[in-house]
Amino acid sequence: MTIRAILILLATLAFAASPFLVPDFGGFRPEQFPIPLENPPVQPAGYAFSIWGLIYLWLLISAGFGLWQRRDDPQWDYTRFPLLVSLVVGAIWLPVALQSAIWATILIWVMLVGALVALIRTPEDDLWLLRAPIGLYAGWLTAASAVSIGLIGSGWGIPPFGQVGWALTAIALAVAIALVILRLRASLLYGTALVWALAAITARNGLDLVGIVALVAAFMAAGATLRQLGLQRA
């Protein structure tokens, strides 16, 4: 168990350091797609990506506490393998994303699956030091993974949708995943991260069709989160 706790800390450090190794990454470049994407409607407003600072910091605090105080705790250890997979893949994601949108999409879905499994496995104890940071991370990845599908569909011109259709598909996919996950493990920070991302899609698009659907989806995600938290306390 101690070894896995050490590996989680090392993987989290590598994951948090990756933006410093690829400082110029600002999202996929339009020319990375056969149909260049200059301003895809599925993309959240730029301010939304500031959430990564909080995600990195909170995961580091969690990993440090886990090694210091919970290294031999079987409940914490139950989350470690899937989280380790997600973090290790996350540590190499930015260099891959600079080269290939397809491979970056595949990898972000691997990251998402690992984070979701880890979230589902979190115990009731240490909510703010384990479930909260994993939930925040998994919630943002839920949105980012769905957005990646929208970008791939738009950028490759995959029928039957255009850019708006793929944006709506991505929003629906993110909400569908969230509704399932929240039933399995209620998490305030998971829902918060998803709502943050969906609201940022509205901020980017305004009150056009994509913006309105994203706003409705944000309210749905918030409602589902609060409902499941209420049922958990009942």
Residue 234 pLDDT exceeds 70: no
Residue 40 pLDDT exceeds 70: yes
pLDDT at 120: 97
Sign of the C-alpha dihedral, residues 95, 97, 103, 107?
positive
In terms of pLDDT, which residue wins out, 16 or 2?
Answer: 16
Cβ atoms within 10 Å, residue 160: 5
CA–CA separation, 232 and 199 (whole Å): 26
pLDDT digits (tens, 9 = 90+) for 58-94: 999 999 999 999 999 999 999 999 999 999 999 999 9
pLDDT digits (tens, 9 = 90+) for 155-203: 999 998 999 999 999 999 999 999 999 999 999 999 999 999 999 999 9
Residue 124: which residues within 8 A CB-CB, separation 6 or more? none
Greatest CA span in the chain, whole angstroms?
Answer: 52
For the entire predicted model, the pTM comes to: 0.96
pLDDT at 13: 98
* AA letter at 109: W
Mean pLDDT of the chain: 95
Distances (CA, A) of 198 to 82, 193, 213: 26, 9, 9
